[in-house]
Amino acid sequence: MIIDFHVHIGKTEKTRYYYTFSSYKKLMDENGISKAVVMPNISSEIKASKLNTKLLDDCDLPSWGFPFIVIDPNDDLTFKQMLYNHVCGVKFHPSVSRYSTDSSLMSKFWKRCEERKLSVLVHCGRDKLSNIQYLVTTAKMFNKVNFIGAHLGGNATDIIEKSLDILGKEKLDNLYLDISAGKLPRLIKLAVSKIGADKILFGSDVPYADLKISKICLELSEVSNFEMDMIFYDNAKKLLKIGN
């Protein structure tokens, strides 16, 4: 059983190719994916709250989908949308919003996540605001909230390696990584050795990466079957509160 923890649904100006719920469900069935965390496609042209509304209206809560809405301090309606009962978590993109996770403007969002027990998926990349160190600081300040650093904490080989060095020293119970857009199996194996398989989640980042390649990267990473099961399903099951 596999849970894809990083799926974008809907149109965006950033790519011509996109998934609807029905087209992604077809991809799921073709690749043995049982459940998925779904979120809007981030846009620089459309407000996050509008993207969230579109996602939640179209979603109709399929049994396999767990909606994560986009939060943005520049769009206060996203803060109100966090109260919707069917929201399972939030996605934050520092380089789009132009705020780091430890900005004072973000504190009310993290407090609400704590109150509602919502997990937080954060884009990590080369942009300074998306550096893993800000997320480490935030995870320490809000240690009752589960944070997930996307793209193995860096989205580029050199940044990922530096991020894993930092996380290996910090050993934070509430900070996870997903392997979305991962291109090198050795980086997954390195992540397991640095922070443990119990802190890593499978994610594809479709449509920006290929689901089949994401699966193959994990399968080629030389982690044990037990560790692979944790990454493919068990860790996500715990964060999403999925029963047996």
Instruction: Look over the chain and give the mean of its residue pLDDT values, rounded to a whole number.
Output: 94
Q: Which residues of 10-55 form beta strands (DSSP E)?
A: 33-40
The whole-model pTM stands at 0.96
Count CB-CB contacts under 10 A for residue 171. 11
Each residue of 11-21: pLDDT tens digit?
888 788 899 98
**CB-based burial of residue 205 (10 Å sphere; 0-12 exposed, 13-18 middle, 19+ buried)?**
buried
Each residue of 139-152: pLDDT tens digit?
999 999 999 999 99
Structural domain of 48: 2-240
Report whether 176 contacts 148 (CB < 8 A): yes
- The number of distinct structural domains making up the chain is 1
**pLDDT by residue, tens only, the chain of 244 residues:** 899 999 999 888 878 889 998 899 999 999 999 999 999 998 878 899 999 998 888 765 567 899 999 999 999 999 999 999 889 999 999 999 999 999 999 999 999 999 999 999 999 999 999 999 999 999 999 999 999 999 999 999 999 999 999 999 999 999 999 999 778 999 999 999 999 999 999 999 999 999 999 999 999 999 999 999 999 999 999 999 987 5
Question: Would you mind telling me the total number of residues written for the chain in this entry?
Answer: 244
Q: How far is CA 244 from CA 11, 234, 238, in A?
A: 34, 10, 10
Each residue of 98-126: pLDDT tens digit?
999 999 999 999 999 999 999 999 999 99
CATH of the domain at 95: 3.20.20.140
Q: How far is CA 135 from CA 19, 22, 45, 52, 213, in A?
A: 29, 34, 26, 23, 27
